[in-house]
Chain A
Amino acid sequence: MSTVKIELKPHQVEQIKQICKEFNNDPGELINVLHKVQNTFGYLPAEIQELVASELNIPVAKVYGVVTFYSFFTMLPKGQYPISVCMGTACYVRGAEKVVEEIKKALNIKIGETTPDGKFSLSCLRCVGACGLAPVVMIGEKTFGRVAPESVKEILQEFL
């Protein structure tokens, strides 16, 4: 998994230690800890994983194993407007894949990546429960239904 190199500030280190403490530094709570840390920081770069590992007294390889297993966790910062394309069955058969391809082309990023200006990030998810609107794309807080590949550029324009 690709990542970015960061330097944690003292108050951030404190914050992460505090979160670990809330879960009694219990290795069994690793997933909950990572959830909360990602909610606070937006993503889980290597430095944060190393800190969590040492706080919970487990090898950092284990932490990385969990981070890479669950698609919810990310080692890259999300963009200002995270794009999620539904790849559930209904969306998929109605052309979600073509929509993803179009977004990738328009932004010049792969799934899981963020544009260099930090504006957009792209991820896929499974079923948002709006199959009647398939294919569905979420950008930031907004939801777009029946998205055609041709309309992708127009939709993205709204956020520029």
Chain B
Amino acid sequence: MSTINITIDNKTLQVDKGTTILKAAQKAGIHIPTLCYMHLEDLNIEHKPAGCRICVVEVAGRRNLAPACATECTEGMVVNTHSLRVLNARKTVMELILSDHPTDCLICPKSGNCDLQSMAHQLGIRKIHYQGEQSTYREDTSPSIIRDMDKCIMCRRCETMCNEFQTVGVLSAVNRGFMAVVAPAFEQNLDHSPCTYCGQCVAVCPTGALTEVDHTNQLIRTLADPAKTVIVQTAPAVRAALGEEFGLPAGTLVTGKLVAALRRLGFHYVFDTDWAADLTIMEEGTELLDRLTRYLNGDKSVTLPILTSCCPAWVKFFEHQFPDLIDIPSSARSPQQMFGSVAKTYFAQMLGIDRKNLVVVSIMPCLAKKYECTRPEFAVDGNPDVDFSISTRELANLIKQSNIDFLSLPDEDFDNPMGESTGAGVIFGTTGGVIEAAVRTAYELYTKKPLPRIDFHELRGLDGIRQATIDFDGLKLNIGIAHGLGNARKLLEDIRAGKSNFHAIEIMACPGGCIGGGGQPLHHGNSTIIKARHKAIYLEDSNKPIRKSHENPYIQKVYQEFLGKPMSEKAHHLLHTIYFDRSKKSFVVTQE
């Protein structure tokens, strides 16, 4: 690759041809401010619409200012990133953006975590010189996500995530000029669209335009109700990210402090979704072996590959987009839902209380989990198995609101019988983890021999699509892994075309899996954070004394005392589900 010489702020450097001014400046240690631009390097997502014009710089000999994010360096180019003209232009641009933005920062859910707010601060905006009409749009609330388009600055990062990365295709810029807004087709509400509630739009939104439905107050009220026994389950990815909200470096494991904080918030029992993840492996692993054995014996009614079904965004994705394949995913419910149905039967019986007086709350890295709890098939007589779900971010806020000094908390252990988990349950939190956990158990169940090794490095990593062949004592099992729904789509299209030779496929909707979920602390475009969480999950796994789901004594116990064996009638009733064809195109006209 040929290199070119350029000068930025009097620094001379060499860069590869094709490098943008923004990247070249970064190389020179100069950080040009950006707003609409987003680059998640480790995930191969770059968004540079050059729409906001915050990153403008002065290029000698060029008449107008150039957007640094989208202008390539040329030989001999001389760039000034902070001339008077640039600084004035940048402030003007910012003031114009702010002139059409509500100034309700004090009560905005994004306050303190908002890219627009930080940029206004960084640019030293003290007055908005342009006053005029502001564009307004109706608010749209769904089970997981709130759209408040008055706060949208048309950076269109959400569109890139929804269309390019997830290929869900719900969000698009519609209308023109002052009336322009990012919206679903025909400006329907999200809950009338094929939105999967993955929350990646929320994860990258620089303002308060896209936020999660906040269940914090509902939780505070519930905890104060003396008639209720309130129990909590926490997903694996939460422990690898919550610390960031308290100033700890990304990838710091805070499992013990998380348990202590939940206990101090007033939960009666602090349990672990990882326990339910071990339960999921028992069901899903058994189902895999059952389907595999029947398939190998020539049973034509069995189709392969089997697909994992833990991720509610992924489930909704295939229900909308691949309804012809809805018999392929495992029928196993997600760990969140397995936990809920077992808690409200087995554990409620153990306590001798009615399920209506037992409230199950989940702490999830995910926004789709909020939607998943509301699915009617996961309720008994209108009482949901999981009452509601709060995100990692909401939990952090609640801990702060409750005056708990998180960093000085002691490390505490989960309660039993639904708190003990294995390393296999932990790795559910990252891409490749569910299938590795399944392999650890399925191998031993199938071969009746102990695993020669426990770490399957060939299943790990952050590439969007990965594949590996695992030798089950002579039986070669082809495994596929995808994270990001766009990558999942490629694997599904191969299946549809009959070109897939996988026996089992794991899919997670979010970049990196649950660790990069829509409910996690915001990464603000820094994808090394996701990498650090990924590492932390495997560290937690290797620290666990038991690392195979079927060896979890409390899983063995629940089968002995309550469920019988995997895929028993009771297990089917409580731990499995069915899927629905949601592809019907029926639009609802929503009037302003």
Cβ-defined partner of B175 (8 Å) among A46, A49, A63, A68: A68
Interface size class of A (residues with CB under 8 A): 10 to 19
Residue B461, interface by CB 8 Å: no
Residue contact B172 to A46, C-beta cutoff 8 Å: no
Cβ-defined partner of A69 (8 Å) among B170, B175, B193, B589: B175
Residue contact B184 to A61, C-beta cutoff 8 Å: yes
- Chain A min CB distance to B582 (Å): 15
Residue B465, interface by CB 8 Å: no
Residue contact B187 to A65, C-beta cutoff 8 Å: no
Separation of A62 and B184 alpha carbons in the complex (Å)? 9
- Chain A min CB distance to B158 (Å): 12
Separation of A98 and B387 alpha carbons in the complex (Å)? 58
Q: Which residue of B lies closest to A63 (CB)?
A: B185
Cβ contacts under 8 Å, A64 to chain B: 172, 174, 185-187
Known: A50-B585, A65-B174. A1 touches B169 (CB 8 A): no
Residue A157, interface by CB 8 Å: no
Cβ contacts under 8 Å, A69 to chain B: 173-176
Separation of A120 and B587 alpha carbons in the complex (Å)? 27
State the main secondary structure of chain A at its contact with B. helix
Known: A1-B187, A2-B589, A64-B186. A59 touches B163 (CB 8 A): yes
Residue contact A65 to B172, C-beta cutoff 8 Å: yes
Cβ contacts under 8 Å, B408 to chain A: none
- Chain B min CB distance to A113 (Å): 14
Residue B44, interface by CB 8 Å: no
Residue A124, interface by CB 8 Å: no
Known: A59-B163, A69-B175. A46 touches B186 (CB 8 A): yes
Separation of A53 and B185 alpha carbons in the complex (Å)? 11
Greatest chain A CB density within 10 A among B172, B176, B589 is at: B172
Residue A3, interface by CB 8 Å: yes
Residue contact A68 to B185, C-beta cutoff 8 Å: no
Residue contact B589 to A3, C-beta cutoff 8 Å: yes
Residue contact B174 to A68, C-beta cutoff 8 Å: yes
Residue contact B176 to A59, C-beta cutoff 8 Å: no
- Chain B min CB distance to A125 (Å): 15
Residue contact B587 to A46, C-beta cutoff 8 Å: yes
Residue contact A61 to B171, C-beta cutoff 8 Å: yes
Residue contact A3 to B186, C-beta cutoff 8 Å: yes
Q: Which residue of A lies closest to B194 (CB)?
A: A59
Residue A9, interface by CB 8 Å: no
Separation of A147 and B357 alpha carbons in the complex (Å)? 74
Residue B591, interface by CB 8 Å: yes
Separation of A87 and B22 alpha carbons in the complex (Å)? 43
Cβ contacts under 8 Å, A59 to chain B: 163, 168-170, 172, 185
Cβ contacts under 8 Å, B175 to chain A: 1, 68-69
Separation of A58 and B172 alpha carbons in the complex (Å)? 11
Residue contact B585 to A62, C-beta cutoff 8 Å: no
Separation of A1 and B183 alpha carbons in the complex (Å)? 12
Residue contact A60 to B185, C-beta cutoff 8 Å: yes
Separation of A21 and B195 alpha carbons in the complex (Å)? 29
Q: Which residue of B lies closest to A4 (CB)?
A: B589
Separation of A49 and B188 alpha carbons in the complex (Å)? 14
Cβ contacts under 8 Å, A65 to chain B: 172-174
Residue contact A61 to B589, C-beta cutoff 8 Å: no
Residue A11, interface by CB 8 Å: no
Residue contact A2 to B185, C-beta cutoff 8 Å: no
Residue A142, interface by CB 8 Å: no
Separation of A49 and B193 alpha carbons in the complex (Å)? 15
Separation of A69 and B193 alpha carbons in the complex (Å)? 20
Separation of A46 and B591 alpha carbons in the complex (Å)? 15
Q: Which residue of A lies closest to B181 (CB)?
A: A68
Q: Which residue of A lies closest to B591 (CB)?
A: A2
Residue contact A61 to B185, C-beta cutoff 8 Å: yes
Cβ contacts under 8 Å, B589 to chain A: 2-3, 5, 46
Cβ contacts under 8 Å, A46 to chain B: 185-186, 587, 589
Enumerate B55-77 residues with CB–CB distance to A below 8 Å: none
Enumerate B515-549 residues with CB–CB distance to A below 8 Å: none
Residue contact A49 to B176, C-beta cutoff 8 Å: no
Known: A2-B591, A46-B186. A61 touches B172 (CB 8 A): yes
- Chain B interface (Cβ within 8 Å of chain A)? 163, 168-176, 183-187, 193, 585, 587, 589, 591
Q: Can you list 12 A-B pairs with a CB-CB distance of less than 8 A?
A: A3-B589, A5-B589, A46-B185, A50-B185, A50-B587, A59-B169, A61-B193, A63-B185, A64-B174, A68-B174, A68-B175, A69-B175
The list of the 10 closest CB pairs from A to B, nearest first, reads A59-B169, A61-B172, A65-B172, A61-B185, A60-B185, A64-B185, A68-B174, A68-B175, A65-B174, A50-B585
Given A3-B589, A60-B185, A62-B163, 18 additional A-B pairs, CB 8 A: A46-B185, A46-B587, A49-B185, A49-B186, A50-B585, A50-B587, A58-B169, A59-B163, A59-B169, A59-B185, A60-B186, A61-B170, A61-B172, A61-B184, A62-B169, A62-B172, A63-B185, A69-B173
